[in-house]
Amino acid sequence: MIRSPTTLLSSRMLILSEAEVRSCFPVSAAIRCNRKALSSLRKNGDGGAMVPSRIGLPYNPGDASSSPSTDWSLFKPAAYYPTDKKEGDKDAIIMGMKVVSVRANNPSIGKPTVPATVMLLNPETGEVSTIMAATYLTAARTAAGSALATELALANNPQEDLTLVVFGAGLQSELHIKSIQHVVRVKQVIIINRTLERAEKLKAELLQSDSDSEPSSISTLVLTDAVAVQHAVQNADVIVTATNTCVPLFDGKLVKPGCHINGVGSFTPQMKEVDDTLVQRCEVLIDTPEAMDVGDLSWLNSRIGSAPNNTGMIGDALSGNFLFGKLRDDDTEQIDCTFFKSCGTAIQDVVSAQYVSDLASAKGIGTSVEM
């Protein structure tokens, strides 16, 4: 059916600010959305996700040939197609794209390190239905993925009063603390950052949070305090690395058996938050096949076919097609930890954004403009 010119001119688009997105996307919702999103992304491709290769553009304000850039802009499309839709089921096709950048200098000018925007399409008409600021959404969906991986890793050996060590003190770190706290019982959080001032700021923000599940103890360390950092790593039950570094943050030999590590900061072959020693000790979970190309997994990637590590995708683990965190039951001497390597995937962004858009529309939140 061809729509009339009047109908064509009446299309509207919803615009949502960071504050509006935040108000519509609590930690609990982020975890639910990302369980759905990540479960759809499976090795055999039957989960309903379609995620074309992202396009990356490096940014180096100096001589682009002088050194590898740690600043990038990424363009990431995705679509979700329900695979088991039943009569009356509201699960629908979702289409969209995220543009996300990394700019290491942004905090010095009062801007987020990882600014992002998501655009959603009306699947039927192909028109843009929503544009939303997605810096908070990006951090929330990344943290939700790590929380789900942590839950999987510790499900076979549930523990209470865990110690969570987080490298980094930005929004990613804040939401990782809140999201992991949502799925496991954390007693102590240790925030390690390059500057103590930023770590103390995050600590204050967490202590002022109205959440009823905050850890009973939060402490801060500066990354250059080698002895204190070593002690923190040795006692960690869960570690999060949320930094942009090309040099591993700690010695993998220090990590105690049974520890689970979430690596979310690195995303290029040159970037490396954890060393080969640690990777050799870990069962490995990845969010996408592209995660294998990141520097953290360079050792494992070079040993495909000969490495003993149990490696799979989180979508398969969430859907019951892959067992993660189980090898330690077999007293496997060499493999005694778990590692989730996340590069992020646009299926998380568009599924999360659709939830936010639907809720905002229902509540009358945001600005609707005629296109």
Residue 200 CB neighbour total at 10 angstroms: 14
Question: pLDDT of 141-167, one tens digit each?
Answer: 999 999 999 999 998 777 778 999 999
* pLDDT reported for residue 305: 62
Cα 324 from chain centroid?
Answer: 18
Determine the Cα–Cα distance for residues 4 and 23; give it in Å rounded to an integer. Answer: 37
Extract the runs of DSSP E, i.e. beta strands, from the chain: 12-16, 49-50, 55-59, 71-80, 94-102, 116-121, 128-133, 162-167, 186-193, 217-222, 238-241, 260-263, 282-286, 311-313, 337-341, 367-370
The residues near 362 (Cβ < 8 Å, ≥ 6 apart) are: none
pLDDT band at 10 (very low <50, low <70, confident <90, very high): low
* pLDDT reported for residue 3: 40
pLDDT band at 65 (very low <50, low <70, confident <90, very high): low
Considering only CA atoms, which of 250, 243, 323 is closest in space to residue 283? 323
What is the set of domains in the chain, with CATH numbers? Answer: 13-137+346-370 (3.30.1780.10), 142-341 (3.40.50.720)
Determine the Cα–Cα distance for residues 186 and 159; give it in Å rounded to an integer. Answer: 9
Determine the Cα–Cα distance for residues 139 and 102; give it in Å rounded to an integer. Answer: 12
The average pLDDT across 60-87 equals 76
Work out the burial of residue 125: count CB atoms within 10 Å of its CB; fewer than 13 is exposed, 13-18 middle, 19 or more buried.
exposed
* pLDDT reported for residue 147: 98
Answer with the residue of higher pLDDT: 211 or 228: 228
The average pLDDT across 277-306 equals 87
Q: CA angle at residue 188 from 187 to 192, to 5 degrees?
A: 155
Question: pLDDT of 296-326, one tens digit each?
Answer: 998 887 776 666 678 899 999 999 999 898 7
Q: Do residues 25 and 351 lie in contact, with contact meaning Cβ atoms separated by under 8 Å?
A: no
pLDDT band at 355 (very low <50, low <70, confident <90, very high): very high
Q: Do residues 223 and 167 lie in contact, with contact meaning Cβ atoms separated by under 8 Å?
A: yes
Cα 5 from chain centroid?
Answer: 43
What one-character DSSP code corresponds to residue 293?
G
Answer with the residue of higher pLDDT: 163 or 7: 163
Integer CA distances (angstroms), 135 to 111, 170, 357, in order:
10, 12, 15
Q: Do residues 165 and 240 lie in contact, with contact meaning Cβ atoms separated by under 8 Å?
A: yes
Determine the Cα–Cα distance for residues 251 and 314; give it in Å rounded to an integer. Answer: 26
The average pLDDT across 172-180 equals 96
pTM: 0.88
Q: Do residues 100 and 124 lie in contact, with contact meaning Cβ atoms separated by under 8 Å?
A: no
Paired with 294 in beta bridges are: none
Does the pLDDT value for residue 368 go beyond 60?
yes
The average pLDDT across 27-46 equals 94
The residues near 143 (Cβ < 8 Å, ≥ 6 apart) are: 27, 30, 172, 175, 176, 178, 179, 180
Lowest-confidence region among 169-173, 177-181, 302-306, 358-362: 302-306
Q: What percent of the chain has pLDDT over 70?
A: 88
pLDDT band at 211 (very low <50, low <70, confident <90, very high): low
Does the pLDDT value for residue 246 go beyond 60?
yes
Determine the Cα–Cα distance for residues 166 and 370; give it in Å rounded to an integer. Answer: 44
DSSP string, 246-283: SS-SS-GGGSPTT-EEEE-S--STT--SS-HHHHHTEE
Q: Do residues 189 and 207 lie in contact, with contact meaning Cβ atoms separated by under 8 Å?
A: no
Q: Do residues 192 and 229 lie in contact, with contact meaning Cβ atoms separated by under 8 Å?
A: yes
Determine the Cα–Cα distance for residues 312 and 309; give it in Å rounded to an integer. Answer: 10
Strands 71-80 and 55-59: antiparallel
